[in-house]
Amino acid sequence: MRALVFRGPSDLVVADRPDPVPDAGEVLLRIVATGICGSDLHGYTGENGRRHPGQVMGHETVARTADTGRLVTVNPVMGCGDCPACAAGTEQLCARRRVIGVDPSVSSAFAELMVAPAANVVPLPDDLPEEYGALVEPLAVGHHAALRGQVGAGDRVLVVGGGPIGQAAALAARRAGATAIAVSEPSASRRALVDRLGFAAVEPGALADLDPVTVVLDAVGSTASLRDGLAASTLGARIVLVGMNAPQVSLSAYEISTQERSIVGSFCYTSREFADTAAWVASRPPGLESLVDDQVPFDEAPRAFARLASGELDASKVLVRCQP
């Protein structure tokens, strides 16, 4: 099969790899398309150190089963299956979790074929627009973030960052019943998309004009984004850190202690939340049609990575089509 192999910082090539062979309990999948995630881009440039030379990346995927051609998506979080976190269905909290597209030893989705545990393969309606299947993973990240922030009716929410995870978080906040949802984003093209989705798009410099919010979903994850979120929120607000832009941040301690804000982390989703998000996507909620900017053939994927990483391509979500 052909696969996209990460050889080192800014070095991605299309190469032949042996076809994966399913073990007991695994399913062989023909990948239809896989989304390029911000974490793949940071891995590609070498910024986050969470990708390793020689590996195949790819965790936002839609596929067809090799035997029956059924349309499916794949939950990339694989728990050990044998600890209290896994027993509770919170595989994202398993200390021995492995993530498809991150762990180099695991079959991953920038390839023509992959194998995945049957428990991680989530069926979709066969007539769903295929590209929607690749959106389930990032949308599940947003759903979990909104749940971690306990977003509910009456909450005013600020999402910091209007990229794919910010868009997903805003859509999830709306599903959860938040009354006012603003998204701060420096890029004009992303603000236009946020606006099309029906959210208030704000330039970061204009946040002072916003009514203080009760929940912040920080889809950037930097000192600056946390500072913006703290400044824009009420005393007692919940701040959810879901973006992973910087490994270290500095915080204004008194805005947390004396103003009783809570800061909670958010990573991936539970298996139940992933399945719930797949069911929501299967219902074709309005807005999804705006989320995929571009789809590129496999051979053009290295160039798409290079253009996205350099900022030359200011797209939101780009999918790689994985079949010839």
Instruction: Report the interface residues with Zn ion, using CB under 5 A.
Output: 37, 79-80, 83, 86, 94
For Zn ion, give the closer residue by CB, 79 or 243: 79
Residue with tokens 């909670």: 264
CB of 144 to Zn ion, least distance (A): 12
HSE of 131 in the Cβ direction (CA atoms, 13 Å)? 16
For Zn ion, give the closer residue by CB, 100 or 232: 100
For Zn ion, give the closer residue by CB, 99 or 215: 99
- β-partners of residue 306 are none
Cα–Cα distance measured from residue 189 to residue 220, given in angstroms and rounded to the nearest whole number: 17
C-alpha Rg value of the chain to the nearest Å = 19
Question: Among 20, 16, 18, which Cα is nearest to 2's?
Answer: 16
Q: For the chain, give the number of residues.
A: 324
CB of 141 to Zn ion, least distance (A): 7
For Zn ion, give the closer residue by CB, 72 or 94: 94
For Zn ion, give the closer residue by CB, 182 or 305: 305
Is residue 122 within 8 Å of 73, Cβ to Cβ?
A: yes
Task: Give residue 264's identity as a one-letter amino acid code.
Answer: V
For Zn ion, give the closer residue by CB, 5 or 37: 37
CB of 233 to Zn ion, least distance (A): 26
Cα–Cα distance measured from residue 77 to residue 271, given in angstroms and rounded to the nearest whole number: 8
CB of 86 to Zn ion, least distance (A): 3
CB of 138 to Zn ion, least distance (A): 6
Is residue 41 within 8 Å of 315, Cβ to Cβ?
A: no
Provide the b/e sequence for 18-57 (b: ≥16 CB within 10 Å). eebebeeebbbbbbbbbbbbbbbbbbbbebbeebeeebbb
CB of 40 to Zn ion, least distance (A): 7
Cα–Cα distance measured from residue 111 to residue 157, given in angstroms and rounded to the nearest whole number: 38
CB of 117 to Zn ion, least distance (A): 13
Q: Identify the three-state secondary structure at position 234.
A: strand
- β-partners of residue 200 are 182
- β-partners of residue 201 are 183
Q: Identify the three-state secondary structure at position 299.
A: helix
For Zn ion, give the closer residue by CB, 94 or 116: 94
- β-partners of residue 33 are 62, 321
CB of 269 to Zn ion, least distance (A): 11
For Zn ion, give the closer residue by CB, 41 or 306: 41
